[in-house]
Amino acid sequence: MVIKREDLNHAHVSGNKWWKLKYNLQEAVKLGSKTILTFGGAYSNHIFATAAAANELNLKSIGIIRGEETLPLNSTLSFAQKKGMRLEYVSREEYRRKAEPEFAEILKKKFDDFYLIPEGGTNELAVKGCSEFGEKLLAEIEFDYICLPVGTGGTMAGIINGLKGKKKVLGFSSLKGEEFLEEEIIKYTRHTNWQLIHDYHFGGYAKSTKALTNFSEDFERNFSIPLDPVYTSKMTFGVFDMIKKDFFKRGSAVLIIHTGGLRRSQS
């Protein structure tokens, strides 16, 4: 088993966020947009990374945050604000309209011109960036299975495309009862060499158990690799459990993608 530590690829825009934002930010600059607008919850890795990336490119940023403002701000939103992101809070009911054209028009009237990036960053350009990452993995590492955590499905779809139908891609959903993820992935890829695993969500997004916490602590102690509690820890637990259950063919090479989310530096 091999772990590709994408959590080390950037101080703030780490893991899969680097690949998902890459072409979106290039497009924003190309179009002459001065402001990036995106969506996320109060603890969103995507909000954190987008604020940092926009700041590095001297772009303004707006974060449409699900729910009411809670003071003092948590570390995620505090960091985003320090990086110049304007935080706009909307009700959960309004937030559910985030993909509707009518809601986008309301935002345009309020904030004027901006380049919109969807929640989690998943769109065609994000998939393009993650496809590039998949091509890089195929060229540089020998493996039979590739395993990664899944939130919105964009990273997985991109990697599937980058592998061009080769190898077996296993995505571990961090969400409970979100079978729509299969539909999201199918929107972006025609390849069929993939499978979503729904057995290791540990109660749902950002939920955990004592067993998962113990596993993460033991893993870091044994391998000196920290795992984030929302995504990578659940996926890695699942991989180890599936190895015990003989899911993988004997002698096969398993590649795990560490997609970041640890936020080591918040300066």
pLDDT > 90: what percent of the chain? 86
pLDDT > 70: what percent of the chain? 98
Tell me the average pLDDT across 61-70. Answer: 96
pLDDT of residue 216: 97
Residue 90 or residue 15, greater confidence: 90
pLDDT of residue 14: 86
Q: Do 257 and 146 touch, CB atoms closer than 8 A?
A: yes
Q: In terms of Cα–Cα distance, which of 174, 64, 73 is closest to 116?
A: 64
Q: The dihedral of CA 238, 170, 162, 157: what is its sign? A: negative
- Domain locations in the chain? 2-6+127-258, 16-121
What are the helix (H) ranges across 83-152?
Answer: 92-95, 101-111, 124-140
Q: What is the enclosing helix (H) or strand (E) of 19?
A: helix 16-30
Tell me the average pLDDT across 162-169. Answer: 96
Residue 43 pLDDT class (50, 70, 90 cuts): confident
Domains 2-6+127-258 and 16-121 are alike in CATH topology: yes
pLDDT of residue 56: 96
Res. 265: pLDDT tops 60:
no
**Spatial distance between the Cα atoms of 181 and 156, rounded to a whole number of angstroms:** 10
**Spatial distance between the Cα atoms of 3 and 76, rounded to a whole number of angstroms:** 26
Res. 246: pLDDT tops 60:
yes
Residue 210 pLDDT class (50, 70, 90 cuts): very high
Average pLDDT score over the chain: 94
Residue 263 pLDDT class (50, 70, 90 cuts): low
pLDDT of residue 171: 97
**Spatial distance between the Cα atoms of 97 and 118, rounded to a whole number of angstroms:** 12
The residues, any chain, with a CB within 8 Å of residue 186's CB and separated by 6 or more, are none
Residue 266 pLDDT class (50, 70, 90 cuts): low
Res. 177: pLDDT tops 90:
no
Q: pLDDT tens across 69-127, in order?
A: 999 999 999 999 999 999 999 999 999 999 899 999 999 999 989 999 999 899 999 99
Res. 267: pLDDT tops 60:
no
Q: Do 17 and 156 touch, CB atoms closer than 8 A?
A: no
Res. 228: pLDDT tops 60:
yes
Fold of 2-6+127-258: Rossmann fold (3.40.50)
CATH of 16-121, one of 3.40.50.150, 3.40.50.1100, 1.10.3720.10, 3.30.70.100: 3.40.50.1100
CA Rg value for the chain: 18
- Three-state SS at 194: strand
Q: In terms of Cα–Cα distance, which of 26, 9, 92, 28 is closest to 260?
A: 9
**Spatial distance between the Cα atoms of 73 and 202, rounded to a whole number of angstroms:** 27
Q: pTM of the prediction?
A: 0.92
